Amino acid sequence: MTLPTDGTRRRSPLLALREVSKSFGAVEALVGIDLEVHAHEVVALVGDNGAGKSTLAKIVAGVLSPDAGQVELAGNPVTISSPAAANELGIASVFQDLAVCENLDVTANVFLGQEVRNRLGMLDDGSMEVETRRLLERLTVRIPSVRTPLRNLSAGQRQAVAIARTLIGEPRIVVLDEPTAALSVAQTGEVLTHIERLRELGLGVILISHNLNDVRAVADRIEVMRHGRNNGSFAASASHESILAAITGAA
Amino acid sequence: MAGSQSSLREANRARVVDAVKKHGGLTQVELAGAAGLSAATVSAIVKELVAAEIAEVRSTVRSGRRAQLVTLAHRVGLVAGVVVGYRHLRVALADVSHEVLAEQVLPLPADHRSDTSLDRVALLIVDLVERVGADLDELLGIGLGVPAPVDPATGMVSVRGVLRGWDSVQISQVLEKRLARPVFVDNDANLGALAESTLGAGRELRDLLYVNVSQGVGAGLVLNGRVHRGADGTAGEIGHVQVDPAGRICACGSRGCLETVVGCPALLEPLLPSYGNLTLRDVVRLANQEDPGCREIVADAGATVGGVVAALATGLGPQRVVVGGDLAETGEVFLGPLREALRRRTLLSQAGGPDVVPAALGLRAELMGAIALALASTDLFERPDSTDDEGAGR
C-alpha cells in the first residue's frame, strides 16, 4: 500500500469525472462537473440542498447515467450502466436510507445479495460470519455480536454495518451520502473514525455531507458545488468561512 | 485438554470481562454474542463476577424488552478524562482505579472553535456515562487537557495566540455550567508527564521529562515526584524554544520556534511535491513500512527535538526522558536520533545521563493523565455512597 513516489498519483486519479452534465427536464442538476478522486484520499462534496451532490453520487454509483461528459476509472473511460456494474468496477456506495434490513442480523445485512454459498448451494453461514467479523475489525467497529438483528443496533452502528458492507469484494472507491446525518456526537465520532480507516486502507472516499465540521475533520480536499456547477476546491485546512462563502455564493 | 476445566473457566471469565470492558456495558444476551459463549455460561460467570465485586448488574430496557445490563463495578464513582487535540478529541470514563470503562475518539477540523468543541465534550461525556449504565452524579470530576499552557490559578490558556480561538475562554466554567461537575484543566504534555510518572515509564523515578511530538510539540516536567507547571503554567513549552534564528514566524509571535520546524504543517510540507497530501498518521505508517522519505523526515525531527531536549535536560538533570505522541509510534526511527542528539549535547554523568524511552502508555498517555488529574483533584471520601443521598453534591 505504499504510495508511488514519482508523482504518478497526481497524473492518474482512481476516478475522474470530466465535464459531466445531467438534466431532468428543465432542471439542470449537473452542468459540466469535474471531479477527481485518488487512492488514499477523502474528497468531500459540499453544497446547498439541490446543488447536485446526490445526483453526482448516483452517477458514480451507476444509479443514473450522465447526459454528457466522461467518467474515467484509473485513466480508462468507462460506462457505469447499473449499480451492479459499479460494483464490478470497484465502486461501492452507502446512501442516506442505508437500505439495511431491520429484521436480519449483521452478517445477513453485510452479505445481502452477495451471499456466499458452499458446494451444495447452501448458504455458508460460518465463513460469512468470519468474514463479517474481519471486516468490522478492519474498520474498528464496536458491535457486540454479528448475530444481532439490525433493529437492536444504534443508528451509528447501522451506519457502520452499511459501510462494512461496501468492503465486500475489495472496492477501490466508496461513496458515502450524509453518513453522519441524525447521529449523536459519539456515533459521529465512530463513523468519522471509520472514514479515517477507509482512507488508511488505501481507498478513495467520496463523502457527501452538510456538516462542515465533520467534513473538515476527515477530508483531504473539499469540493464545493453550487447549482450543479463546481464552485471551488479547498484543502481541508481552508477556513470554515471561505468554504461557507463558496457554498452560499458570497465569494 | 485434560485437566483444563478450571483454566477453561478462567479463560471464559477473561473473555466476558474483556467484552464488557470493550463495550462499556452489555446486556447478558449481547454479552453471550460478544464473548462467543452460551447464555447459561455467561449467566454463571456474571454471577461470579458480581459476587467478586468485579461487575455490576442492573435492569435496563433493550428494544422494548427488559434486560440485565452488565458493567464493570464503579460504585465508588467515576471520573472523565478529556484531551482536546489539534485534530482529535478523546474522551474516556474511568473508575477510581484508573481502569478505563468507555472511550470515544472524535476527529476534529483544523482550527476548531472552542464553543463547538466544548459542546461536543459535554455531549460525549453524557453519552459515555449512559453507555456504562451510570448516572451523571456518579461522576466525581472531569480532567481536561489542551495543547497550550494553562494558568493553574485560572484554568485558562495563559499565552495568547498559541491555540487559536481558545484565548480567554473560561474552559472549566463553560463545562461546569453544562454538566454541574467539577472540571480541572491542564496542559496536555503536563498530563502526559503525570500519567507516565504515576502509571507508565517513570513510576519509580523522581525526576523525569516527558516530551510529546504530534501535531505540535510540548514537554511536561516531573521534578522531585511532582509535575512542575512554572509561573502561568508555561514550564516545558519547548515548542516555542528558538531553533532557527532565521526561521519562520510562529503563532506565538517569535521567530524560528521548534514548532515551526517540527510541527505538523512544517513536517508535511517537504513531502507534498512527491507524496501528495499526507496526514501525520500516514507519515508514521509509511515510516514504519520502511519508506525512506518519511523515515528521513521523522529522523530529522528527532534530532532537532533532541537538541532542545538536551538543553532542558542540562538545566534540570532528569533521570529519564519519556517520549510520547504520534512520532514516538515510529520507535527508534524517531527515538534514535533524539537519543543521539541528547547524548552529544548533555553532560554525561558516570551513569550515562538520562535514558530515552517511549511512553509506556503510548498515545493514551495524555488521556490517562487527564483521568489521573481528575482523580487526584477530587476527594473520593467526601462523597456519599451512590446508594444513599445524604450530603450535598456540587
pLDDT tens figures, B311-332: 999 999 999 999 999 999 999 9
CATH fold label, A13-248: Rossmann fold (3.40.50)
**B38 and B120 inside one domain:** no
Instruction: Kindly report the average pLDDT of chain A as a whole number.
Output: 87
Cβ distance B127 to A186 less than 8 Å, yes or no, reads yes
Cβ distance B105 to A6 less than 8 Å, yes or no, reads no
**B249 and B342 inside one domain:** yes
Give chain B positions within 8 Å (CB) of A215: 109
pLDDT tens figures, B16-30: 888 887 777 888 888
Residue A144: predicted pLDDT? 81
Min distance A61 CA to chain B CA atoms (Å): 25
* Residue at which a domain ends, from B158, B190, B222: B190
Give the pairing type, strands B226-228 and B217-223.
antiparallel
Question: 526561521: which residue's cell?
Answer: B247
pLDDT score of B387 more than 90: no
Cβ distance A5 to B273 less than 8 Å, yes or no, reads no
pLDDT band at residue B6, thresholds of 50, 70 and 90? confident
pLDDT band at residue B391, thresholds of 50, 70 and 90? very low
Question: What CATH number does the domain containing B61 carry?
Answer: 1.10.10.10
pLDDT band at residue B36, thresholds of 50, 70 and 90? confident
- What ipTM was reported for this prediction? 0.84
From A152, A186, A213, residue closest to B116, measured CB to CB: A213
Is there a contact between A246 and A224 (Cβ–Cβ < 8 Å)? yes
Note whether residue B197 is domain-resident: no
* Residue at which a domain ends, from B190, B218, B245: B190
**B25 and B171 inside one domain:** no
Beta bridge partners of B9: none
Instruction: Calculate the alpha carbon distances from B100 to A192, B128, B308, B371, B378 in Å.
Output: 22, 11, 34, 9, 17
pLDDT score of A10 more than 60: no
Domain limits for position B27: 13-72
pLDDT score of A251 more than 70: no
Instruction: State whether residue B272 sits within 8 Å of chain A by CB.
Output: no
pLDDT score of A219 more than 70: yes
**B262 and B351 inside one domain:** yes
Instruction: State whether residue B282 sits within 8 Å of chain A by CB.
Output: yes
Question: 468492503: which residue's cell?
Answer: A167
pLDDT tens figures, B52-108: 888 888 888 777 788 888 888 776 789 999 999 999 999 999 988 788 989 999 999
- CA geometry: angle B221, B351, B322, nearest 5 deg: 30
Question: What CATH number does the domain containing B259 carry?
Answer: 3.30.420.40
**B42 and B98 inside one domain:** no
Measured between CA atoms, the residue of chain A closest to residue B64 is: A152
Cβ distance A5 to B275 less than 8 Å, yes or no, reads yes
Indicate the DSSP class of residue A243: H
- Chain A / chain B CB contacts < 8 angstroms: 95
How many folded domains does chain B comprise? 3
**Spatial separation of the C-alpha atoms in residues B166 and B157, rounded to whole Å:** 7
Mean pLDDT over B236-264 rounds to: 94
Choose the mutation target among B62, B277, B285, B326 for the interface with A, i.e. most A CBs under 10 Å: B277
Cβ distance A200 to B109 less than 8 Å, yes or no, reads no
**B355 and B206 inside one domain:** yes
Cβ distance B275 to A220 less than 8 Å, yes or no, reads no
Residue A120 CB neighbours (<10 A): 6
Cβ distance A186 to B128 less than 8 Å, yes or no, reads yes
Question: 456547477: which residue's cell?
Answer: A229
Cβ distance A189 to B33 less than 8 Å, yes or no, reads no
Give chain B positions within 8 Å (CB) of A2: 286, 289, 291
Beta bridge partners of A16: A36, A72
Whole-model pTM: value is 0.83
